[in-house]
Copies of this chain bind each other. A is one copy, B any other.
Amino acid sequence: MRAGRLHQGGDSATREALLDAAVELMLEDGYAAVSTRKVAARAGVNPALVYYYFGTVDELFLAVFRRGAETNLRRLDDLRRAAEPLRALWELSSDPRGAALTVEFIALANHRPAVRAELSAYLNRFRRLQEEILETALAGRFAAVGIPSPAALTVLISGLSRVLVMDAALGLTGGHAEVRELIDGCLAAWENPVPTDPGRSAGTEPEQTG
């Protein structure tokens, strides 16, 4: 169904405007609101340009996804040099914008095989990279303090950050404060295990975790 010479590789202003418009629509009104006409209208360009740049709506979605995925992978890679990688990782996953977009793409994946394949491959890569970062950041500390493995940690981070964001979008806040405290306690305990000294080293409070 697709053959003609497209222009997906470029990074023209129009192309970027279309991608931006698509993201906005997805966040505001859900993926179902993304149509060639609406995207073009919001980007202030002619609807036919969507086909010029992307060929099909499916490809438009994939382009949106790939751009966001690459940005996220770059951000993730930057976390290697963070002072507290585990906490930084939690905060990256807690970004409301990113989480909301992910939910839209998960829903989209339900009936767009191409999106499903891409999303699956990306999440795999993302989590592997996350595990790798955790592995080096918490090296040797896993067995000692009873920290879950990197693979398990990535699942916990994904699930808990996402439920907090989705709940908040629906106005649900019950239990959130306590869950955040709980997580905060784990982050602190795992990332900065109490140094082996009798007294109390300066700085952070040794909050207890439940």
Q: A30-B107, A162-B159 are in contact. Are A123 and B154 (CB under 8 A)?
A: no
Copies in the complex: 2
**A58 smallest CB distance to B (angstroms):** 13
Q: Cβ of A166: which chain B residues have Cβ within 8 Å of it?
A: 106
Q: Could you say which residues of chain B place their CB within 8 Å of the CB of A163?
A: 155, 158-159, 162-163
Chain B, residue nearest A146 (CB): B210
Given the contacts A210-B148, A210-B206, A172 and B124 also touching, CB distance less than 8 Å = yes
Contacts of A169 in B (CB 8 A): 110
Interface residues of A (CB under 8 A from B): 28-33, 100, 103-104, 106-111, 116, 119-120, 123-124, 127-128, 131, 146-156, 158-160, 162-164, 166-167, 169-172, 174-176, 178-179, 182, 186, 189, 206, 208-210
